[in-house]
Amino acid sequence: MTTEEDELRRVARQLNLITAAQQERLHEARVLVIGAGGLGCPLMQSLTAVGVGHIRLLDDDTVDLTNIHRQVLFGAGDVGRPKVEVAAERLAALQPGIVVDADQNRLTTGNALAECGAADLVIDGSDTFATKYLSADACEATGTPLVWGTVLRFAGQAALWHSGPGSAAGRGVGLRDFFPEQPDAASAPDCATAGVLGATTAVVGNLMATEAVKYLTGLTRPDGEPASTPGRVLNYDALAGTVRALTVRADTAREPVTGVRDFYGAACAASIDDVALDPGRAEARRLLDEVRAGEAVAVDVREPHEVLVEDLDCESVKLPLSRLNPDALAEAVGTAEKVVVYCASGVRSGMVADNVELDGVEIVSLPGGTAAQR
């Protein structure tokens, strides 16, 4: 067990910047972190080091070798272990006095209001539109401040949102003032498809941690204004080496969020029959059953490095889109009368299905790509 004197010595350099009372606020804070991934790992590392006393962590995944280049709390020896379990161990090693409530579960429509409402601050380190909009809606409905971040390729964004009960003028600024509607999952590539620089996630994760510290301590700028500003979005570009800021204003014509919706997407629908609510997922499962039964041939149009990350649990022909043409496809599938092409999300395979024709062969795209079998 750490003593109070040990803890004060540990953060002694920080006490040159914040008061003892502000440090106590960090120690007493109850922070909900959604996701122990590329953003969640570095931000939790920093929050723990800075002295946040209680972290509740939600993540239902296990450590994979492909995670480690950006998820800095994990090592090669942790592969296969629950992320929340490993994260709790690493954080306790940094700050023995911390309480980490590690729950191998995801945020769902059934638990979001209770989880967000019980926290002093919610930090969303998730990687799906579905979870980000669910957490944003739950935070607005409960009036809980939310630190939000995204990262892809060489860039990312971080912001603090606070809307709903208890926010400025009872209205505040929320995610839906910036992006009013949840995009379709296929409208943007995921990290497996587009790639992500591990160091970029560390930068954005620590920008998020900084926003959390400013909010929890109530830090002010030299002019006396609050350092923490809801609606101020930081845009980080690693290649240009720049951080630019823009300010989002509340849309007074927008109807305030007072609860969560019935469905945000398969990633948040643990308590809902996702097949009934998502016809595309049901179609994907039907097509995969045909492939496994030998009634169709699966053709993977992803690039070789993507296959290392995730693949279908059935036999498939590997024919990257960069080398695909009608002759190459005809040679690859032989005498098959039906071909199911797939990629990571269904976007590239959809292009193939729409634009490539073979005599006597039905070519269809797997809705949702490799994620369809999760």
**Mean pLDDT computed over every residue of the chain:** 90
- DSSP assignment, residue 226? B
pLDDT at 132 over 60: yes
Average pLDDT of span 63-74: 92
d(CA 207, CA 221): 17
Q: If pLDDT is split at 50, 70 and 90, which confidence band does 120 have?
A: very high
* Of 27-31, 52-56, 164-168, 279-283, the least confident: 279-283
Q: Are 58 and 270 in contact (CB under 8 A)?
A: no
Say what percent of the chain tops pLDDT 70: 91
- Token look-up 């919610």 returns 122
Average pLDDT of span 27-55: 97
* Of 77-86, 157-166, 273-282, the least confident: 273-282
Q: If pLDDT is split at 50, 70 and 90, which confidence band does 193 have?
A: low
pLDDT at 256 over 80: yes
For residue range 213-241, list pLDDT tens digits in order: 999 999 999 999 999 999 999 999 999 99
Residue 314 is among the residues annotated as catalytic for this protein: no
Average pLDDT of span 96-122: 96
What are the φ and ψ backbone dihedral angles of 290, each rounded to 5 degrees? -65, -40
Average pLDDT of span 9-14: 89
Average pLDDT of span 139-166: 95
What does pTM read for this prediction?
0.78
In whole angstroms, how large is the CA radius of gyration of the chain? 23
Average pLDDT of span 11-19: 90
Which structural domains are found in the chain, ordered by start?
A: 4-268 (3.40.50.720), 278-373 (3.40.250.10)
Residue 191 is among the residues annotated as catalytic for this protein: yes
Q: Which of 139, 191, 268, 314 is catalytic?
A: 191
- Give the 3-state secondary structure of 52-109: CCEEEEECCCECCHHHCCCCCCCCHHHCCCEHHHHHHHHHHHHCCCCEEEEECCCCCC
Q: If pLDDT is split at 50, 70 and 90, which confidence band does 5 have?
A: confident
